[in-house]
Amino acid sequence: MKVVVLMSGGLDSSVLAAYAKRELFCDVHGLGVNYGQRHAVELQHAAMVAAAMDIPFQVADLTSLRGLLGGSSQTDASIPVPEGHYADESMKATVVPNRNMIMLSVAAGHAIALGARAVLYAAHSGDHPIYPDCRPQFVLALAEAMALCHYEPIQLTAPFVNRSKANIARLGRDLSVPMDLTWSCYKGGEKHCGKCGTCVERREAFQLAGVPDPTVYEPA
């Protein structure tokens, strides 16, 4: 089955692409989205991960939406990236309004154009506290709409929606995902900063999973 996997260059979506290809035997087409994120470097990492796994990869350019979607630390350089734990209230500053529905809608349109039957994205259980558009009830509701958006239904699934990131790191190890090529840091510097929410979450996930962390972090 041909599917579109949203690939951000991060750990979760890289493992998801591998899972879809190697466990579900899907014909995976990767799609990255440039929504003007400060850490757009992640898309270069997505391309590297896709190339390493022999997955075709394209980028949707939505940078022009930045002005319409307003202030998030992800897209507005004047808003600082919060440091701390990924589940902290302060991480709400990183929310880009309706980002996931926009990205998933584009992915579904791309799936229709490719003749693919499904869209997969890597929301996981650690995303739920802060990001409404990563919660199971959102995925289910949008899946209903996606089943009706065209002549043939497009299936939407988030296979990791009830998995922890540590669990995903273990799966990544088991599937030989090139996790050293992935990028999580919201700051988008030369190395992972080690202090922003996603860096803290990434480091914690490898530790909890008992999987060696291949990441080079900035010295504390």
Shortest Å distance, C-beta 1 to a second copy = 18
58 touches a second copy by CB under 8 A: yes
- Amino acid 14 reads S
**Smallest gap from residue 8 Cβ to a second copy (A):** 16
Indicate whether 69 belongs to the interface with a second copy (CB under 8 A): yes
Q: With contacts defined by CB under 8 A, name the span among 15-23, 96-104, 181-189, 203-211 that binds a second copy.
A: 96-104
DSSP-derived pairing of the beta strands 118-120 and 155-157 = parallel
Cα 60 from chain centroid? 14
Give the number of residues in contact with a second copy, rule: CB under 8 A: 45
Six-digit token string for 35: 């929504």
Mark the segment that binds a second copy (CB under 8 A) among 7-15, 17-25, 147-155, 170-178: 147-155
| 56 binds a second copy, rule: CB under 8 A | no
Asked if 37 and 188 count as a contact pair (C-beta separation under 8 A), the reply is yes
CA 111 – CA 104 distance, rounded (Å): 10
Should residue 151 be labelled a site residue for a second copy when binding is judged by CB under 8 A?
Answer: yes
Nearer to a second copy, 68 or 77 (CB): 68
Q: Which of 56, 80, 84, 132 binds a second copy (CB under 8 A)?
A: 132
Name every residue whose Cβ is closer than 8 Å to that of residue 68 and which is 6 or more positions away in sequence. Answer: none
User: Could you tell me the smallest distance in angstroms from the CB atom of residue 160 to a second copy?
Assistant: 18
Instruction: Measure Cα distances from 215 to 13, 124, 193, 212 in Å.
Output: 16, 20, 10, 9
Residue 93 to residues 3, 33, 84, 130, 159: CA-CA distances in angstroms? 32, 20, 12, 10, 26
Residues that bind a second copy (CB under 8 A): 31, 58, 60-62, 64-65, 68-71, 95-102, 104-106, 108-114, 132-133, 135, 137-138, 141-142, 144-151, 154
